[in-house]
């Protein structure tokens, strides 16, 4: 079975500063990895995903994540955050070729400080 650990429940960061949200996964098989974002009072939206190929994946709003198999990590980064990035971010994992389920971490709340 797969599992996901998000090491920080909350991350405060000043506007225009860089940020890293940490995610580690556990799996005995190969994985697909995801970051979902949940803005206040909204549903979950897919931010980016790693399925195969390049280990560095990017979103349209400046976030990127790197799949590191040796460290079983998929940390999310942004070089300069904006107030609009205030949200909860969920790391998630699924197993290709197996059931169609995605397992979510507990989430990291990103607080942007003015």
Contacting residues toward other proteins, per CB under 8 A: 4, 6, 9, 32, 34, 36, 42-46, 49, 51, 90, 92, 94-96, 98-107
| Least distance (Å) between residue 16 CB and other proteins | 28
CA atoms of 49 and 33, how far apart (whole Å): 6
Closest to other proteins by CB, 17 vs 56, is 56
Q: How far is CA 9 from the centre of its chain?
A: 13
Angle at 68 between CA 16 and CA 4, to 5 degrees: 85
Closest to other proteins by CB, 7 vs 104, is 104
Closest to other proteins by CB, 60 vs 114, is 60
Dihedral of CA 49/54/60/64: which sign? positive
| Least distance (Å) between residue 65 CB and other proteins | 13
Closest to other proteins by CB, 74 vs 105, is 105
| Least distance (Å) between residue 107 CB and other proteins | 5
- The β-bridge partners of 35 are 48, 91
Closest CA to 86 of 20, 40, 43, 48: 40
């Amino acid at each position: 079975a797969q599992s996901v650990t998000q090491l920080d429940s909350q991350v405060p960061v000043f506007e225009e500063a860089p940020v890293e949200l940490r995610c580690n996964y556990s799996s005995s098989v190969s994985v697909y990895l995801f970051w979902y974002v949940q803005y206040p009072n909204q549903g979950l939206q897919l931010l980016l995903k790693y399925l195969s190929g390049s280990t560095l994946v990017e979103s349209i709003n400046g976030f990127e994540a790197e799949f590191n198999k040796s460290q079983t990590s998929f940390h999310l980064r942004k070089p300069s955050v904006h107030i609009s990035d205030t949200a909860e971010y969920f790391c998630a994992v699924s197993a290709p070729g197996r059931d169609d389920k995605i397992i979510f971490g507990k989430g990291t709340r990103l607080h942007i400080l003015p």
